[in-house]
Chains A and B, each alone.
Chain A
Amino acid sequence: DAGVTQSPTHLIKTRGQQVTLRCSPKSGHDTVSWYQQALGQGPQFIFQYYEEEERQRGNFPDRFSGHQFPNYSSELNVNALLLGDSALYLCASSRDSLGTYEQYFGPGTRLTVT
């Protein structure tokens, strides 16, 4: 049973550029959440997608946007990159139909902005 997968593993971008990160949820899961983890910190909630719509959003600017596809996979887009966007971006999946609280994380994408 494949767990949550993310791509790419690492990414280096320049300030002002745009980036797209990808996530495939665990088999049987229909909900995808994105988190940002700065070095030495706990993950912070960016937003969650369910039924191809953004269901809830954390305290992140509009430069952060996302999308969910019919197969439940998801993308995170960040525009106008800032140095402070350098972090590990984590995708977590869950199964909404069970009302489950359990979220399973992928390995993350390490984004470095120079």
Chain B
Amino acid sequence: QQQVKQSPQSLIVQKGGISIINCAYENTAFDYFPWYQQFPGKGPALLIAIRPDVSEKKEGRFTISFNKSAKQFSLHIMDSQPGDSATYFCAATYSGAGSYQLTFGKGTKLSVIP
């Protein structure tokens, strides 16, 4: 059972455009939602994260929007650059798990073309 569903699988955006990646979750116990960025041959790097008590969090060009009632959250990348081309993963976890184990989506491969 996949607990975090991510879409789209791949995304092509023009340089300067907005990239939007969506995730939906099933487990209402989740209380921490990070996004990771992964370049080929590298491990995932923590990009930005949000807790369900806020609806939006912004860090530079990256913004997470969170809709608790719909059990959905999304990553917006403003002014997308070719250097943003990578695979992005949403994830979720909860303190009740004891270990804060992360449940990941399947990833979105973003290509930003000049």
Contact = CB atoms under 8 A, between A and B. Distances in A.
Most buried by B among A43, A90, A100, A107: A43
Interface stretch (B12-20, B37-45, B58-66, B78-86): B37-45
Task: Name the residue among B34, B44, B49, B93 with the largest chain A CB count within 10 angstroms.
Answer: B44
Interface of A: 4, 6, 31, 33, 35, 40-45, 48, 50, 55-56, 58, 90, 92, 94, 99-108
Interface size class of B (residues with CB under 8 A): 20 to 34
Interface of B: 6, 32, 34, 36, 41-46, 49, 89, 91, 93, 95, 97-107
Interchain residue pairs A-B with the least CB separation, the first 3 = A42-B104, A105-B43, A56-B99
Contacts, number: 66
B99 A33 contact: yes
Nearest to A108: B43
A56 B43 contact: no
